[in-house]
Structure 1
Amino acid sequence: MLSANYNNATGDCELSSMDRLTLAGSSSFVTAEGYDYMENNCIEEPTKLCEFKKLNGRILKTVDSVYQDVGSVDECRELCLSSPYRCHSYDYGDTGEMVCRLSHHSRATLSDIQEPYLEVPEAATYELSSCYNVSIDCRSGDMVARIQTSKLFDGKIYAKGSPNSCVRDVNNSLEFELSMAYDNLECNVRKNGLGRYVNDVVIQHHDKIVTSSDLGLAVTCQYDLTNKSVTNEVDLGVQGDINNVATHDIIVDSPNVAMRITDRNGEDMMQSAEVGDPLALKFEILDRNSPYEIFVRELVAMDGVDSSEIVLIDSDGCPTDHFIMGPIYKSAQSGKVRKIQIIKNIVTAKV
């Protein structure tokens, strides 16, 4: 929480996610007798993509921190953004050569202080206007740009070139997002190499007008589509003189995939089976939160005697012989599970 109101008469404490800085420029604060207003100056807030406004001809009379031998105004700016408290303004070189001064105050928090500034014609104070922390969520069918701001945002976020068709209107919020589906032509997500998707996003402060304070972002999602081999072995107990060990190798896309022999209902079974038992192959992504789904192809049966091969599932994922291998079924609960019914038992198979 950023602030709190304490009612001295009732003892009630009201917490708020807003403060004078997030509400700067609004008329949200009113005088209330019997209340104490408190702000949290230790909470972490967005410190990326920050914009400072230059106030010419004035510097603060008192500050929180003073640094000597700071090489440039940009270094002073970085000291402000990385300070252990919520730094909202700084000045550089106005009180001494290479001197950087930091303060948690800005005009929004100085309204109750009389004459907080010194008027110095050649001096300047740099006041934090707003910051934006951007994160990208790369999902199975879309990318989501999530924005967290330090000041209430009222405007819109949209994919560059599509301000009306791939857009999210934002009304006085500190957090907002834009989802851009890979198959949505309006959002103009571009595929740039294997498993790499890119797009440009605009954060616009006014619903109709583009201003110099608007931000343009390049966002990228990179998926690991390198092949991985998954091996599963099961001992088929066969009556008679034939002793076989079935080895199954499957090459699938990342992430980790398990392959098991199950009964027709998809339930696990013992590590042995008789020839003629109704079986199924079950392919499953282990990570339930993974954005990937499974596509099974090129399933090959190998004779345990002469090692001859029979293609059971072709490169398109279709069975080549319905008397041996049934079609591939997608689980009704998840796209991360595929099941194939084995019509006739195969001794050894690999993918």
Structure 2
Amino acid sequence: MAVQKRNLFVSLLSIFCLASSISAQGCTNGYITFELITGFVYSASEDTLDIAPGTLMLTECLRLCQNNATCQSINFETGLCVLFSSSATQRPAALKTSHFPVFTMYAHKVCLLGIKPCNRYWMFERVKGHILRDLTRKTYSATSREACIEKCFQERNFQCRSANFDPSTGECAISDMDRHSVPDESRYFAPSNDRIEYLENNCVDEGVRLCEFQKVNGRIIKTVDAVFENITSLEECRKMCMSVPYRCHSFDMSDPASRVCRLSHHDSASLAHIKNPYLESAGVTTYELSACYNVTILCEAKEMVAKVTSSKLFNGKVYAKKRPNSCVQDVVNRLDFEIKMSYHDLDCDVQQQGFGQFSNDIVIQHHDMIVTNQDLGLSVHCQYDLSNRSVANGVQLEVKGEVDTSGSQSAIVNSPNVTMRVTDQSGDNLLSAQVGDPLALRFEIMDQDSPYEIFVRELVAMDGVDISEILLIDSLGCPTDVSIMEALEKVDGNGKILQASFDAFKFPTSEFVQFKALVTPCIPSCEPILEIAVLWMILKSDVMISAVL
């Protein structure tokens, strides 16, 4: 009876609140959707409409609220959905930061005007007290958050991905970038004063995508958007991520034996403002979306054009795989780029496979010099129908383009015999490797009684065929790019052995990589410099990597 009275009280309170709530009747000139806020929880137990334990999907929790006219907001964490008859719009003090051990996602109904941009349950996400800096494309005046995000949805000159909204001034600054599309989110996405709010568009349509994921070992997200059971493989889980009706940016299978796949629209970039969003545990891995590419092929009269759209600002180059030096396009901070390959230009070596059929292989390469496992190779084709046809009736035809063809007693301690080897990360020798394999470059003094330790600097990787080279360790002994090669460290505290971890890479023009470095034997009284140039073969000072793209 007490429960019935309480439910009656809640129902009456809900009816009382309808005057200031979002309902179908109150949104006759627009449509109802949800605004999502991650890391916050709505505390209004007296307004609780329903508790749905076992809810494993955020979209299901939103659907329950969508289908309940008295529901105004929800709290969601994996396995629990709570519906409320009020929201932070009426009771802003009730919205508080969620704390350890989990973080909660909160969403409430909003009414948007104009054309409905997509059919997703939440159309935008708000991050309080944060801003996306230096990337504004247009600035408007808006009376509310909803009006600001509508400006973003209505933009036609570029794809609007986010907006910064200042309620005190009404300034709405929209951008074609968001937290996921910038290469270094810590540079652009940052805390601001409490009044400015960051709004992110969840209706961005990436279209048909070729997507790459990177491993983040030892941690998984505490609260995810969806949990799917009976998933048999990582590849199947990845496909689930690509097919859900929202922008999925990470997935994990915390225990593959359990056949459970967990998906989230969040990744490291969008969880930077959340305290302790990850569960740390050895043996688990999260796969975060690196970038997606949408490739369109234009078959023109004398060339094929590969147009690439990236979901993240791209720095690198795109080139014909067989002609990486002569048929190449450098790309700097672009979301859209292209490469043109003429049919009768030896520099690009487009292959004619048959009558009116042309093809080539292209590589989208992130680093300016080397190929890594982050890069993408594509085969592109153009096929022209050159069959004879009979045409009736008069036709006016405009055709553009053409088909172109160093007394007292003393002793001298010799410089140490130093070897350099490419090994696996356990220190075992290797004969070959695939691009992306985890390897180590090891420098070692062979005489363990030697008084010396060693210091390595100016480590260079060189192309085995061409004259291309890249500096990996600089003159101070520091790595130039830790994503290519990490810092040299002592092995088990032994200064006679230094090792740097790296993932196998290659140059576009060769299957072999040569390494050269300056090694300085060090004791307190002397620092001679010894230059060693080595190739990896059976000889003690030979190092070479065989890598297959």
TM-score range, shorter chain: 0.5 to 0.7
Q: Residues 46 and 131 of structure 1 are in contact (CA less than 8 Å); yes or no, is this contact kept in structure 2?
A: no
How far, CA to CA, are the matches of 2:256 and 2:273 in structure 1?
25
- What per-residue deviation string (whole Å, max 9, x for no partner) do you get for residues 151-200 of structure 1? 11001111123223222111111111111111222111111101001111
CA offset at residue 292 of structure 1?
A: 8.4
Aligned partner letter, 2:262? R
Query: 1:120 Cα deviation (Å)?
Result: 2.2
Q: Work out whether 1:193 is the aligned partner of 2:354.
A: yes
Paired residues for 1:295-334 under 5 Å: none
Give 1:48 deviation, angstroms.
2.4
Specify whether residues 100 and 158 from structure 1 end up closer, same or farther in structure 2 by C-alpha distance, changes over 3 A only.
Answer: same
Conserved? CA contact 2:302–2:401, under 8 Å: no
- Following superposition, the deviation at residue 55 of structure 1 comes to 1.8
SS in 2 for 1:50: strand
Percent sequence identity is 52
Give 1:96 deviation, angstroms: 7.5
For 2:334, the equivalent position in structure 1 comes to 173
- Give the Cα–Cα distance (whole angstroms) in 2 for the partners of residues 200 and 166 of structure 1: 11
AA aligned to 2:390 is: S
User: Does residue 37 in structure 1 map to residue 182 in structure 2?
Assistant: no
Secondary structure of residue in 2 paired with 1:52: strand
1:72 aligns with 2:238: no
Letter in 2 for 1:159: A
Per-residue CA deviations over 1:18-47 (Å, capped at 9, x if unaligned) read: 011111425123443242111112321255
Matched residue, 2:276: 115
- Deviations, residues 223-277 of structure 1 (Å, cap 9, x unaligned): 0011112356xxxxxxxxxxxxxxxxxxxxxxxxx47xxxxxxxxxxxxxxxxxx
Indicate how the Cα distance of structure 1 residues 53 and 293 shifts in structure 2: closer, same or farther if over 3 A, else same: closer
Q: 1:205 aligns with which of 366, 369, 383?
A: 366
Shift of 1:51: 1.1
One-letter code of the match for 2:344?
D
- Alpha-carbon offset, residue 127 of structure 1: 1.0
C-alpha distance in structure 1 between counterparts of 2:339 and 2:387, whole Å: 28
Q: For residue 28 of structure 1, what is the aligned residue in structure 2?
A: 188
Matches within 5 A, 1:1-351: 1-26=160-185, 27-33=187-193, 34-45=195-206, 48-94=209-255, 97-231=258-392, 258=394, 284-285=396-397
Structure 1 residues 2 and 100, CA gap change in structure 2 (3 angstroms) = same
The change in CA–CA distance for 1:104 and 1:203 in structure 2 (over 3 A counts) is same
Which residue in 2 is equivalent to 1:345? none
Rounded to whole Å, the distance in 2 between the matches of 1:73 and 1:196 is 37
Q: Distance in 2 between matches of 1:191 and 1:101?
A: 45
Contact 2:302 2:402 in 1 (8 A): no
Q: Quick one: which amino acid aligns to residue 172 of structure 2?
A: C
Q: Cα–Cα, structure 1 residues 139 and 291, in superposed 2: closer, same or farther, change >3 Å?
A: farther
- The 1:71/1:221 distance shift into structure 2, 3 A limit, reads same
Gaps of at least 5 residues in structure 1 are: 233-257, 260-283, 295-351
Secondary structure of the 1:74 match is helix
Across the two proteins, how many residue pairs are aligned to each other? 242
47 and 80 in structure 1: CA distance in 2 versus 1, 3 angstrom threshold: farther
How far is the alpha carbon of 1:119 from its aligned partner? 1.7
Bigger helix fraction: 2
* Alpha-carbon shift at residue 132 of structure 1 (Å): 1.1
Task: State the secondary structure of the residue aligned to 2:215.
Answer: strand
Bigger mean CA offset, 23-32 vs 55-64: 23-32
> Could you tell me how far apart the structure 2 residues matched to 1:166 and 1:226 are?
31
Alignment RMSD, CA only?
2.2
CA distance in 1, matches of 2:400, 2:360: 19
Q: Is the 8 A contact 1:47 1:81 kept in 2?
A: no
Decide whether aligned partners of structure 1 residues 121 and 111 sit closer, same or farther in structure 2, where only a CA change above 3 A counts.
Answer: same
Between the aligned partners of 1:163 and 1:11, the Cα distance in structure 2 is 50
Note closer, same or farther for the CA distance 1:179–1:173 as it changes in structure 2 (3 Å cut): same
1:75-123 Cα shifts (integer Å, max 9, x gaps): 1110101111000111125398211111011011111111111122222
CA contact (8 A) 2:254 2:285 kept: no
Partners of 1:82 and 1:117 in 2: CA distance: 24
Q: Decide whether the 8 Å contact of 1:46 with 1:132 is kept in 2.
A: no
Kept in 1, the 8 Å contact 2:293–2:309? The answer is yes
Equivalent position of 1:254 in the other structure: none
Pairwise CA distance, 1:208: 2.0
Structure 2 letter corresponding to 1:178? I
Q: Is the 8 A contact 2:220 2:254 kept in 1?
A: no
Ranges of 4+ aligned residues in structure 1 off by more than 4 Å = 290-294
- Following the alignment from structure 2 to structure 1, what is the Cα–Cα distance between the partners of residues 248 and 259? 19
